[in-house]
Amino acid sequence: MSSWSERRVVVTGIGCASSLGLDANTLWNNILAGQCGIDRVTAFDVTNYDCQIAAEVKGFDPKPAFPNPKEVRRTDRFTHFGVYAGWGALKDSGLDLEKENRDEIGCYIGSGIGGLYTTEEQHKILLEKGPGRVSPFMIPMLILNMASGLFSLYYRLRGPNFATCTACATATHALGEAWATIKRGDAAVMFAGGTEATVVPLGLAGFAAMKAMSTRNDEPKKSSRPFDRDRDGFVMGEGAAVVVLEELEHAKKRGARIYCEVVGYGNTADANHMTAPDPEGEGAARAMRMALRHAQLAPEAVDYINCHATSTPVGDLCEVRMIKHVFGDHAYKLAASATKSMTGHMLGAAGAIEMAICCKAVEAQVAPPTINLDNPDPAADLNLVPHTPQERKIDVFTNNSFGFGGHNAIVIGKRFVG
């Protein structure tokens, strides 16, 4: 078996369920077109809510990814999204599981919150009808490891399996840990990503109570505006994304199409505040330097950054400071965009949907745009790819994710060269 440093890891499949598409190509085409998936919430009456907007996944049918309709009824919406995205990634990868050793195929699909819809509905039943009417499926429906567990069950994947939970850094931690799992020889293939379904009354009310959400209810399409002077908070999104990470020789042996190579991963803590990032971005900077060290790359090698930037007044500028700290003068030469301006903030799934976008950006050699950047914050003086995509060389990208609790996760990918 080859050593850690010799084992290379590539992306060979992408699956997703998002407000901008239920497959990677549709997602990417809508991103290039600058489409926004945010609108007024339709799942329930939001008349009395401060925030009345979200990026909902519409026209979604999970049944093709499940073994039978009964399993759909016994699972929460976040699991529907996660299993569907895993199924899409499997199809996209071309893996024939009947020819594979399933002991060497694993799954890390995380979630920041898990089955919030189930929690809310079953609590209502408890109060109105008593404890005897609470569903026996309540616990397995709401626990956040179930998307990862059931995907492995349905597809009989017996390799490493767990679910990360680090708020909005969840999916990027899943990707990084899956990369490390393959690097150390514990798996040949890993399905990795995140899923979230918090567009429910309790979720919308809870985040709004923190004063973290945009209240631009009359202009949903313009509500998520990272780095813009007039930003007023993030907009919740739902959905999932999963990518297939594969040991290079395994991928080459079966003739797989390769989107890119994953070469670095950084994982640090701010140790600063329950929800606020380190004001100077030092924790994130340490994660970036760790990822660059793993990748054996100088900062000047990076061509594109998919920013975590959620459209909050504080968080966006902390990330800008981090980029300037790490990259110095090169910060003004690379492209750094915030695709949450289009997808909304998918919380525990954010890093995975953004990894999917990064993979497509390398494939197309196009930096995706930051929409709604009409009046850039003077402190955000980088090339933030305002409004329209930019054709440019993208050999190396970073995918940034930061979560409540002070969690920082960064994955670095590069254009594959055999």
> How far are the Cα atoms of 143, 171, 174, 176 from residue 243, in angstroms, in the given order?
22, 10, 10, 12
Q: Which residues are catalytic?
A: 168, 308, 345
DSSP category for residue 314: H
CA atoms within 13 A on the CB side of 61: 4
- Length reported for the chain: 418
What radius of gyration, in Å, describes the C-alpha atoms of the chain? 20
Is the CB of residue 400 less than 8 Å from the CB of residue 306? Answer: yes
Question: Where does CATH 3.40.47.10 sit in the chain?
Answer: 9-253, 264-408
pLDDT, residue 275, reads 67
pLDDT, residue 270, reads 76
pLDDT, residue 1, reads 44
**C-alpha span between 231 and 265 (Å, rounded):** 30
Is the CB of residue 404 less than 8 Å from the CB of residue 168? Answer: yes
Strand ranges (E), 88-130: 105-110
pLDDT, residue 61, reads 97
Is the CB of residue 21 less than 8 Å from the CB of residue 253? Answer: no
CATH fold label, 9-253 = Peroxisomal Thiolase; Chain A, domain 1 (3.40.47)
pLDDT, residue 412, reads 98
| Residue 157: CB atoms within 10 Å | 25
- Residue of 244, 259, 242, 249 lying closest to 95 (CA atoms): 244
pLDDT, residue 48, reads 95
What does pLDDT average to in each consecutive run of 10 residues of the chain (418 residues)?
A: 74 98 98 98 96 97 96 97 98 97 98 97 97 96 97 98 97 98 97 98 94 96 98 97 98 97 94 74 91 97 97 93 97 98 98 98 98 97 98 98 89 95
21: alpha, beta or left? (left if phi > 0; alpha if psi -120 to 50): left
pLDDT, residue 296, reads 96
Which CATH class name applies to 264-408?
alpha beta
In 143-240, which residue ranges form alpha helices assigned H by DSSP? 146-154, 170-183, 201-209
In 296-369, which residue ranges form alpha helices assigned H by DSSP? 313-327, 340-343, 350-364
